[in-house]
Structure formats: structure tokens, C-alpha cells
Amino acid sequence: MVEQNAPNQFNISITIDFHHFVTGPLQLEIYDVAGQRLRVINLGVQPAETYPLVWDGRDQHGASVASGIYFYRAGQGSVDLAFRGFMTTRKMLLLK
């Protein structure tokens, strides 16, 4: 389960708490409003517990993204593979 990010309006970095219920791969994906995936943060296989996932407002190449609305998906597994279930999408606002 993914908590709503805090703070919801942010300007440098944001922390998203993810409750990881079973041991398995854990990742955070960031998307723009057009649905383009900007960043994937893979944490590898992790044991069951709560993890603070942090996004620093940068894309996969390290460039800062513009102010705007973004979506994040956090969960267990990979969307690129045969996904087995625990993924939640939420909205956030980046203000610079």
C-alpha cells in the first residue's frame, strides 16, 4: 500500500511511504501528465516492512523536471514484466 506523498506540493524532493507486505522486488515509477515514464527507482528485493521512497525531482538522466502535475506508481514487481499485483498510482504537484 502506498501513502499519499508528503508534502503534496513540493519543490526539492518528496518522500512516499510504501508498506511492503511480502518479500519481493520494490520500485517507484514517476510519470508526467502525458503518461511518459520519467524515472524508475528500483530498490531490488526487499523484506516486508515500510519503506520511505524518495524522488528528487529528476528524470532518469538526472535532469530536473519542470513544475507541474506528476503521477507516481509504487509497488512490488515490475510493470515491464509479468506483474503480479501490488501497484498503486497517486498524483503529486511539483512547484519550483
Instruction: State how beta strands 86-94 and 9-10 pair.
Output: parallel
Q: Give the CATH number, domain containing residue 19.
A: 2.60.40.4070
Q: Which domain holds residue 29?
A: 9-94
In a domain, 2, yes or no: no
Taking the C-alpha atoms of residue 37 and residue 9, their distance in angstroms, rounded to an integer, is 20
In a domain, 64, yes or no: yes
Assigned domain for 3 exists: no
Residue 83 in this model has a pLDDT that exceeds 70: no
73: in domain: yes
DSSP line for 2-33: BPPPBSSEESS-EEEEEEE-SSEEEEEEEEET
Does a structural domain hold residue 74? yes
Give the pLDDT confidence of 21-58 residue by residue, as tens digits: 778 888 889 999 999 999 998 888 888 888 788 888 99
Question: Domain count of the chain?
Answer: 1
41 falls within a domain: yes
